[in-house]
Structure 1
Amino acid sequence: MDYSSPPAGGKLGVGERDQLIDQVKSQLAIANAQELLQKMSDKCYKKCIPRPGSTLDNSEQKCLAMCMDRYMDAWNTVSRTYNTRLQRERGFAS
C-alpha cells in the first residue's frame, strides 16, 4: 500500500488507518532498538576497552557482558516505568 498520497477525499479507511498505525509502531520499535544498541555499544566500549586492539582479553569480555546486562536491565526498568505511567495517565484522561 502506498502511503505517500492520501486516497481520494483525503481520508483513510479504518483498515488503512490501523495498518498505517501498525507500520509506524513497527518503525518506532526498530528505531528504539537501534538507539539502544548504539548507546549501549558506545558507553560500554568507552568503559571497558581502554586500549583497543585486534582482540578482547578476558577482563574486557567480562566487562562488556556485565555492562551490557546492566544497561539492558536499566533500559527495561525505565521502559516499564514509563509505560505504566502512560497507562495511568491515560486512565485519568478518560
Structure 2
Amino acid sequence: MDSLPAGLSNSQKDELMDQVKQQIAVANAQELLTKMTEKCFKKCINKPGTSLDSSEQKCVAMCMDRYMDSWNLISRTYSQRIDKERHRM
C-alpha cells in the first residue's frame, strides 16, 4: 500500500484497496462470462437461429458446468500456490 497517495489515512487506504479489489473481481467475472459464452457457443451452436433446440441447450448447460468446474479448480490451485509462496517468505 506504499504506492497509494500520501495524504490518505489508513482507513481511507483500506477503503480504496477494497474498492479496487471489488472492481478487479467484477472485471474477472465479466471476463469469465465472456470467455465461457464464446467457447460454449462455438462448441454447441452449429446453426444460430431464433431459439436453441434441446440438444443445443443441453450442450450449452454441460459446457458451462465443465467450464466453471475447471475455472474453480484452477482458481483454488492458484490460491493454494500463492498461500504456499507467502508462507515461505
Verify same fold: TM over 0.5: yes
Shift of 1:13: 1.0
> Which residue in the other structure is 1:22 paired with?
18
Q: Which of 62, 67, 70 is 1:66 aligned to?
A: 62
Query: Which whole-Å deviations, capped at 9, do the CAs of 1:2-45 have from their partners, x for residues lacking one?
Result: xxxx5xxx332110110011001100100000000000000000
Say which one has the larger Rg.
Answer: 1
CA-based RMSD of the aligned residues comes to: 0.8
Opposite residue 15 of structure 2, the aligned amino acid is Q
Q: For the residues of structure 2 that align with 1:14 and 1:86, how far apart are their CA atoms?
A: 25
Is the aligned partner of 1:50 residue 2:78?
no
How high is the sequence identity, in percent, across the aligned residues? 61
Q: TM-score, normalised by structure 2?
A: 0.92
Q: Deviations over 1:42-68 (max 9, x none)?
A: 000000001100010000000000000
CA distance in 1, matches of 2:78, 2:30: 19
Structure 1: tracts of 5 or more residues without a match: 1-5
1:63-88 deviations in Å (ceiling 9; x for gaps): 00000000000000000000010011
Gaps of 5+ in 2: none
Question: What is the TM-score when the length of structure 1 is the normalising length?
Answer: 0.87
4+ runs of 1 displaced by more than 4 Å?
A: none
